[in-house]
Amino acid sequence: MDALLKTTRRDDLIAAARRMVPALRARAAQAEQDCKVPDETVAEMAEAGFFRVLQPRRYGGYEMDPEVFYSIQMTLAEGCMSTAWIYGVIAVHNWQLALFDPQAQEDVWGKDSAVRIASSYMPKAQVTPVEGGYRISGRWGFSSGVDHCDWVFLGGIVPSPDGKGGDYRTFLVPRSDFTIVRVWDTLGLRGTGSQDVVVEDAFVPAYRSHRSKDGFDTTSPGLKVNDAPLYRLPFGQIFVRAVSSSSIGALAGGLEHFRAYASKKVSVNDFSATAMDPTAQLVAADVAVAIDEMKLTLFRNFDAMMARLKAGQALEMEDRVHYRYQSAAVVERCAQLISRLFYSCGAHGIYRDSPLVRIFSDIHTGRTHVANNFEKVGRNYGGVLLGRENGDTFL
């Protein structure tokens, strides 16, 4: 019965995301103009239960496998990649909060389990250890969807006592302790509203911080109360897919627009039909197959990780490096393919009211995220394959 309920809820959630796609397309221009996903869109996602997919059951969450989370995100991206992007990074924070000390979880969700968390993991905090915790100050960039959130995760390095090196942590800060600075005016992903966040000498209790090493080793304090296999996934595996998978959905939306356009387009120069153009035919086929391959890889990787964790087994480090590279390579592949679709539209495709223009800009902007730097990640993986030590802790 429990399995049937899970399947029904999974199907219902993905169907709800599919029903939102037309509205997201209709609102995409407004989101771009406002540099913010509309409040009504976020309210609809919350009402549908999307933000609860990875949230612990003890706070009203669904504790569902990552496949559901990424399926929702990719579906939303077919309508608006900015919406899917903020869904990915906000909803994944409910997963990360489950790794924090139980008191931190109670601070956020104790009175309202629907509270949302934004982030900027840049190690920008100026950290001073004090009795009971830390005082932090700093300015962080790229906090996607922060306008829709009441808390924020902020990155920083706690200096070691000997002054050599430090301990990277994520600090959990309430809305009363940070200010939003509106700087977001970008080529793409404008609707994400990824503004700057400023904190001036705020106290953060020690229990409201999370060590990166615990996320890497899966030894986080929250596992004492949230012991489902879902929360034993390494942080680096689940987060990086939250900033790459929306590109797959956006590319699928781009292919849908291209098919509608190219099936009817006839050149004014030589009266040839785009549908008969061998280049257009090939790019349509390549994009369709690539989307299928990238989704299969995404789901296969998480199925493999979840199977090992459910069996009580540790994840193999070489597998983690392999999966990390596949995640980073996704957006580069999507960027190349959306470029080919864009070029195949010819001169008529350059107008700003063309949906492909927005999708082109959004995917290329997503490619610039540090987690999607496939060259660096690929070099590390290649080194591991050739016998060198792994140098990446974000996996």
Residue 215: CA count within 13 A, CB half-sphere: 23
CATH class of the 116-210 domain in this structure = mainly beta
pLDDT for the residue 225? 97
pLDDT for the residue 29? 96
From the list 176, 170, 167, the residue with the least C-alpha distance to 200 is 176
Question: How many helices (H) and strands (E) would you count in the chain?
Answer: 12, 7
User: Where are the domain boundaries for CATH 1.20.140.10 in the chain?
Assistant: 235-385
Identify the architecture of domain 2-106 in CATH: Orthogonal Bundle (1.10)
Q: Alpha carbon of 85 to those of 161, 211, 361, 366, 380: distances in Å? A: 38, 25, 14, 9, 26
| Interatomic CA distance for residues 189 and 364, integer angstroms | 9
Residue 321 · residue 395 · CB < 8 Å: yes
Give the DSSP letter of residue 314: P
| Interatomic CA distance for residues 371 and 193, integer angstroms | 19
Cβ contacts of 166 within 8 Å, gap of 6 or more: 157, 158, 159, 160
pTM summary value: 0.96
Question: In sequence order, what DSSP letters do the residues of 249-301 get, joined into one string?
Answer: HHHHHHHHHHHHHHTT-B-TTT--BGGG-HHHHHHHHHHHHHHHHHHHHHHHH
| Interatomic CA distance for residues 327 and 4, integer angstroms | 30
Q: Which two tokens stand for residue 27?
A: 């609102």
Q: Which two tokens stand for residue 174?
A: 């309430």
Q: Which two tokens stand for residue 114?
A: 């629907």
Q: Which two tokens stand for residue 321?
A: 């490096």
User: Where are the domain boundaries for CATH 1.10.540.10 in the chain?
Assistant: 2-106
Q: What b-and-e string marks burial along 307-316, b requiring 16 or more CB atoms within 10 Å of the CB?
A: ebbeeeeebe
Which residues in the chain show pLDDT less than 50?
A: 1
From the list 337, 342, 335, the residue with the least C-alpha distance to 362 is 335
Label residue 351 exposed, middle or buried (CB < 10 Å: 0-12, 13-18, 19+): exposed
CA angle 42, 294, 326 (to 5 degrees): 100
pLDDT for the residue 352? 87
| Interatomic CA distance for residues 19 and 15, integer angstroms | 6
235-385 has CATH 3.40.50.10860 classification: no
Question: In sequence order, what DSSP letters do the residues of 160-229 get, joined into one string?
Answer: PTTSSSEEEEEEEEEGGG-EEE-----SS-GGG--EEEEEEEEEEEGGGEEEHHHHHHT--GGGGT--SG
* pLDDT tens profile 150-202: 999 999 999 888 777 789 999 999 999 999 999 999 999 999 999 999 999 99
Over its C-alpha atoms, the chain yields an Rg (Å, rounded) of 21
Label residue 61 exposed, middle or buried (CB < 10 Å: 0-12, 13-18, 19+): buried
Please name the helix (run of DSSP H) or strand (run of DSSP E) that holds residue 152, with its range, or none. Answer: strand 151-159
* pLDDT tens profile 277-297: 899 999 999 999 999 999 999
